[in-house]
Structure 1
């Protein structure tokens, strides 16, 4: 390999996502298990389906801009795997896609880790301020902890998953991922009120975390006249 070839290889490895350890983990615990269920349900050859989904997963990773060591990297890797399925199965249903999205939470270790990472009401989180890694494809967020410990507001004006969905022509599937935020909050001493998302065409995703030690989202919504239908 000459110098130019090595430089090109280094450029590719630093500017696009790689099939890293997290991706291998996702493939084993989400990809392969989802393939198995879909193959059985649709009477498809499991090995053939697995090969197509994995190769598509790798292709999406290879063309997705890197976000460095972003704290949200796992989420983006997960999105790359999820969006591989509709490409391989264009007629995939909403219920089938939802099954794949929530497959990760069937694993007790992963579910516990997700809820631990989602621990909202900490001083560290309340003092986060702005998040901007400088990578164009990464999330951009601003956290307002002035109401801590009762509430914390985080507003995302950029989202890697939204960027990825646009890149892969998969925006219609994005709300299924957004819905997991409510699932993760459940049992983490926090409720979520969110009435805007980039996925539905809004200018931001407005996360309002409610500390259930003080009050619930339902109480806040009733008091402020926020209808359940407004949640996104």
Structure 2
């Protein structure tokens, strides 16, 4: 995979999310090394990753964030437990004001959003053999104005964690969806996931005051 301008930008974005929390575990000099090594490892992961379609793929940003977190996990797991890593990620995302602002503008139940995901799903399906580690996704029950039901039958982050020999990190990456969707005033229920070995990921997205 090529290191695009967006790929180069991600370490700066992610550093702002996690640096404050990492200060609890490392002194200034060690933290600097952790950030440097994480960025270096992230670039290697991206360069060694199979192509998933570049900017044509709306899931590219999710992949880049996952690649950075995989590298961070590898560089900190000798000191930080997986549960502590999860706490760092949750706290960092909840303090990420830019993402909150951007997600607050998105209506996850709108026809426009559903059509965007559906269009992406058609593209992924048409290119599934060309990009075998990419996501496969469809939208169900499209006319239901109170629900967005998205089904993933293949996940790029599952493939990433498996390839980097950190499958235990997959649920941590999956958990970020609950946080980011809450920024859009939505509630996510996901009874089954690929990350847990199920046949698909079932996303049921409703407004916070509605149940599925």
Q: TM-score range with shorter-chain normalisation? A: 0.7 to 0.9
Change (3 A) 1:25 1:114: farther
- Aligned with residue 101 of structure 2, among 104, 112, 127: 112
Kindly name which structure, 1 or 2, has the bigger radius of gyration based on alpha carbons.
1
Deviation of 1:162 after TM superposition, in Å, equals 0.8
Other structure's SS at 1:109 match = helix
Bigger relative contact order, structure 1 or 2 (CA pairs below 8 A, ≥6 apart): 2
Deviation of 1:191 after TM superposition, in Å, equals 2.1
Aligned to 2:66: 79
Change (3 A) 1:194 1:160: same
Report if aligned partners of 1:32, 1:50 keep a CA contact under 8 Å in 2.
no
Asked whether 1:88 is paired with 2:88, we answer: no
State the TM-score, normalized to the length of structure 1.
0.75
> C-alpha offsets along residues 22-78 of structure 1, whole Å, 9 cap, x if unaligned?
334331232366356425523362332222211111111111112122001001000
* Count of aligned residue pairs for this structure pair: 199
- Aligned with residue 200 of structure 1, among 175, 196, 203: 196
Using the alignment, how far apart are the partners of 1:85 and 1:59 within structure 2? Answer: 13
Deviation of 1:187 after TM superposition, in Å, equals 4.7
Aligned to 1:229: none
Q: Which runs of 5+ in 2 are unaligned?
A: none
Aligned to 2:48: 63
Q: Which runs of 5+ in 1 are unaligned?
A: 1-15, 221-232
Using the alignment, how far apart are the partners of 1:104 and 1:142 within structure 2? Answer: 27
Asked whether 1:145 is paired with 2:130, we answer: no
Query: Deviating runs (4+, > 6 A) in structure 1?
Result: none
